[in-house]
């Protein structure tokens, strides 16, 4: 990755009309010197721009002018003016008090004996020393040219680092979009790139076309397009020949940004694969500097995309693990997938109703699917007994809670699922099992699952009981509110029931 453009920029970077000349400040108390210097620099140009010469006849006037003009490229400063050291004092003021480190400074003096010591040159970042005895046009030309080049380079570096800073500011926004979906990620990347082009590039971008295609198994898909390309639609033909570009990029990996004319391809690489391609056209062209910043940004985005993909893969694996475990539990019990799904949905909407965040509610819903995973440790003759359990059998049945918790406790991320498995048969008044926990000591997700588990068991058939009418089950929950069930959870359930949300789930799955 090329961080700093190698070729110099053709056009001057300072596009703003207020910067269309190089500002040079001459500080000298000798009007003759000023006149000669001005004459020598009459037709001076650097990178096709002329000079804007500002004159100060004393160091105090210079201070005033420097405060007015914050964009002076080069200052040529006489040492001996009001005092023997007024020039040096002025330089000290510029560098240390105004904290201007960008303007280039050339020191001139008629008294070689008073020429600045080496330490002054070093400490105040002085570019050169110009003896008035040798004030030829040639000498002046060479020195001024060098100083302007120095200014130009420093200016570009500053601009470059500002561009990088902007990239860093954009990153969290993209991160947020990427957490939601890849398509949101690409859309957000596109709009961030647009912002970068407009702010970072030439102030007068006339036209801009941006397009992002994702590439999976060598098949490209247009994700989004903007500006001049906005008429391209997803899944259309590939009028931009993205695949040729892709191939070219694959063959010449190190030359990551490919520009032909003002067509630019910036790839998003994961390992050695191009996973997406940004295609960008602008009028006028973006400078290499601007493209280099985009490359840095896009490279960051590629690693972000990679981490999202890993994260999603991880999520999928986790989901699959939950489903597999729930399946195993079902295999032994008479549970159906429908019951498990209903449990997850009741749990989720109650959590939402109680003010928990969407992601927490979803996580609790998922975790609820495993509430009875411990039933895989219960013998079939007890689990499937058509009639009422004996006390001894019930003692064994109750152990499904601790068995479930011990299975889930072995997996780091299953904290909530473990709580639910362990405590979904605890009662608000402390009369439940396995620990006889009381009130708030029972984790909230367990209190929610404890209620919906009973509700769903009552309204459905079990090998030991017939289904109850829904209204009777609702009355049962009301009856047990405050002793078996957490009153707040019961109330949330009732509100949802009144609004029809519970009935929708009963009939829906
Ligand atoms: P499950 O069948 O899913 O029932 C979950 C909870 O719903 C029960 O927890 C209980 O609180 C409630 N519930 C279910 N049916 C009824 C009912 O007819 N009346 C009332 N008042 N509540 C009911 P519990 O009692 O701790 O039982 C846990 C699990 O033990 C049950 O899960 C079921 O698998 C098993 N089980 C409980 N009683 C019997 C039974 O008499 N025979 C058999 N074969 N299994 C039973
Ligand atoms: C079922 O509804 O059959 C299983 C739920 C439970 O036993 O808690
Ligand atoms: C989840 O993170 O999706 C479930 C929460 C848990 O069981 O820890
Ligand atoms: Fe249970």
CA distance 71 to 390: 92
How many angstroms separate the alpha carbon of residue 423 from the centre of ligand 4?
A: 9
How many angstroms separate the alpha carbon of residue 464 from the centre of ligand 1?
A: 8
pLDDT at 234: 45
pLDDT at 134: 74
SS3 label, residue 380: helix
Ligand 1 mutation target, pool 330, 339, 454, 480, most atoms within 8 A of CB: 454
pLDDT at 252: 47
CB 1 within 8 A of CB 296: yes
CATH code, residues 181-309: 3.30.450.40
What mean pLDDT is predicted for residues 429-441? 97
Q: What is the largest distance, in Å, between two alpha-carbon atoms of the chain?
A: 118
Q: What digits encode the pLDDT tens for the residues 159-194?
A: 777 777 777 777 788 888 888 889 999 999 988 888
pLDDT at 205: 61
Out of 243-252, 402-411, 430-439, give the one with best mean pLDDT.
430-439
Length of the chain: 509
In the chain, where are the structural domains located? 8-154, 181-309, 333-506
pLDDT of residue 7 exceeding 90, the answer is: no
Task: Please report which ligand is nearest the Cα atom of 477.
Answer: 1
Which CATH number among 3.40.50.2300, 3.30.1380.10, 3.90.226.10, 3.40.1350.10 corresponds to the domain 8-154?
Answer: 3.40.50.2300
Residues with beta carbon inside 6 Å of ligand 3?
A: 363, 366-367, 413-417
210 pairs with which residues across the strands?
A: 226, 280
Which atom of ligand 2 lies closest to the CA of 334?
Answer: 3
CATH level 3 topology of 333-506:
Hypothetical protein af1432 (1.10.3210)
Q: Tell which wins on pLDDT, 117 or 479.
A: 479
Tell me the whole-structure pTM to 2 decimals: 0.56
How many angstroms separate the alpha carbon of residue 482 from the centre of ligand 4?
A: 20
Of the given ranges (41-50, 66-75, 222-231, 451-460), which has the lowest mean pLDDT? 222-231
Residue reference for tokens 């991320």: 413
Q: Tell which wins on pLDDT, 405 or 333.
A: 405
Residues with beta carbon inside 6 Å of ligand 2?
A: 333-335, 339, 372, 453, 456-457
Q: What digits encode the pLDDT tens for the residues 210-241?
A: 888 887 777 777 888 887 666 555 444 554 55
DSSP symbols for 306-368: HHHHHHHHHHHHHHHHHHHHHHHHHHHSS--HHHHHHHHHHHHHHHHHTT--HHHHHHHHHHH
Cα–Cα distances in angstroms (integers) from residue 413 to residues 309, 315, 322, 343, 416, in the given order: 19, 11, 11, 20, 8
CB atoms within 10 A of CB 293: 26
What mean pLDDT is predicted for residues 11-17? 40
Closest protein CA for atom 41 of ligand 1 = 388
The mean predicted confidence, pLDDT, of the chain is: 83
């Amino acid at each position: 990755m090329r961080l700093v453009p190698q070729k110099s920029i053709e056009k001057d970077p300072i596009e703003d009309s207020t910067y269309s000349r190089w500002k040079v400040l001459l500080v000298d108390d000798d009007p003759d010197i000023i006149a000669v210097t001005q004459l020598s620099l009459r037709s001076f140009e650097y990178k096709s721009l002329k000079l804007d010469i500002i004159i100060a006849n004393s160091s105090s006037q210079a201070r005033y002018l420097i405060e007015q003009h914050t964009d002076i490229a080069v200052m040529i400063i006489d040492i001996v003016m009001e005092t023997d050291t007024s020039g040096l004092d002025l330089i000290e003021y510029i560098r240390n008090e105004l904290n201007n480190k960008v303007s280039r400074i050339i020191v001139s003096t008629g008294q070689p004996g008073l020429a600045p010591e080496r330490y002054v040159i070093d400490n105040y970042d002085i570019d050169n020393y110009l003896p008035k005895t040798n004030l030829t046009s040639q000498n002046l030309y060479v020195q001024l040219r060098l100083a302007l080049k120095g200014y130009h380079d420093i200016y570009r570096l500053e601009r470059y680092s500002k561009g990088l800073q902007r990239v860093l500011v954009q990153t969290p926004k993209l991160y947020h979009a990427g957490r939601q979906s890849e398509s949101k990620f690409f859309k957000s990347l596109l709009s961030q790139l647009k912002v970068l082009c407009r702010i970072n590039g030439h102030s007068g971008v006339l036209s801009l076309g941006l397009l992002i295609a994702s590439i999976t198994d060598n098949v490209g898909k247009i994700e989004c397009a903007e500006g001049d390309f906005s008429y391209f639609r997803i899944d259309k033909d590939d009028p931009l020949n993205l695949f040729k570009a892709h191939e070219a990029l694959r063959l010449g990996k190190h030359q990551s940004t490919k520009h032909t004319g003002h067509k630019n391809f910036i790839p998003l690489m994961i390992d050695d694969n191009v996973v997406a391609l940004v295609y960008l056209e602008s009028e006028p062209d973006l400078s290499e500097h601007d493209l280099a910043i985009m490359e840095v940004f896009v490279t960051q985005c590629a690693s972000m995309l990679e981490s999202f993909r890993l994260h999603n893969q991880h999520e999928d694996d986790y989901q699959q693990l939950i489903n597999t475990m729930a399946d195993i539990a079902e295999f032994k019990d008479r549970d159906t997938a429908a019951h498990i799904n209903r449990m997850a949905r009741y749990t989720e909407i109650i959590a939402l109703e109680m003010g928990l965040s969407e992601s927490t509610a979803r996580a609790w819903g998922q975790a609820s699917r495993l509430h009875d995973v411990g039933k895989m440790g219960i013998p079939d003759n007890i689990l499937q007994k058509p009639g009422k359990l004996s006390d001894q059998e019930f003692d064994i049945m109750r152990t499904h809670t601790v068995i479930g918790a011990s299975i889930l406790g072995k997996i780091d991320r299953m904290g909530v699922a473990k709580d639910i498995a362990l405590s979904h048969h605890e009662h608000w008044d402390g009369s439940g099992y396995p620990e006889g926990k009381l009130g708030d000591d029972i984790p909230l997700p367990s209190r929610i699952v404890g209620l919906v588990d009973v509700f769903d068991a009552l309204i459905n058939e079990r090998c030991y009981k017939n289904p109850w009418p829904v209204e009777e089950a609702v009355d049962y929950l009301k009856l047990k509110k405050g002793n078996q069930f957490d009153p707040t959870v019961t109330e949330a359930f009732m509100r949802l029931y009144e609004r029809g949300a519970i009935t929708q789930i009963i009939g829906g799955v």
